[in-house]
A = this chain, B = another copy of it.
């Protein structure tokens, strides 16, 4: 029940982009540095996110990446699905499969829990947007660096 680093890093990077949304293209190098992720590895991940239409890119010097939509319109579920594949604790409750592909009737019993689990996972991931999380990030930053009161 673990995400791989693809999902983990991908969400971090997307929040980073959300925090800079509206500032024009952000270089991947700077994202990688702030989030302590290998730049080359992050390149692979963002390539998937670009192909999936979640980010846009600008090539050349001063280029970089931007969210393709406002942070409020991209959910963690969107990002995780691109980087980790369809959300399904076991194959037979894969959300992208229409038909039940249980080969054995016994499986159908366990299928009940796995479906409930899948739905509860998607509920959380699909109801959390990048805007929600960057708002939290800003709150935290405020707490970390409190206002200074001069005499």
Contacts and interface: CB of A to CB of B under 8 A. Distances in A.
Contacts of A68: none
A11 B105 contact: no
B11 A110 contact: yes
Interface of A: 1-3, 7-8, 11-12, 15-16, 34-36, 76, 80, 84, 87-91, 103-110, 112-114, 116-117, 120-121, 123-125, 128, 133-134, 136-137, 140, 144
Copies of this chain in its oligomeric complex = 2
Contact of A34 (B11, B106, B108): B106
Contact of A3 (B1, B103, B112, B125): B1
Given A1-B88, A90-B3, A117-B124, A144 B110 contact: no
20 contacts: A1-B80, A1-B89, A2-B90, A2-B91, A3-B114, A11-B113, A12-B109, A15-B110, A35-B104, A36-B106, A105-B140, A106-B137, A109-B133, A109-B140, A112-B136, A113-B128, A113-B133, A116-B124, A120-B120, A120-B123
A121 B117 contact: yes
Contacts of A15: 106, 109-110
Nearest to A139: B109
B36 A88 contact: no
A109 B89 contact: no
A66 to B, nearest CB: 19
Closest 9 CB pairs of A and B: A109-B137, A120-B120, A117-B124, A120-B124, A3-B89, A8-B90, A113-B128, A11-B110, A116-B124
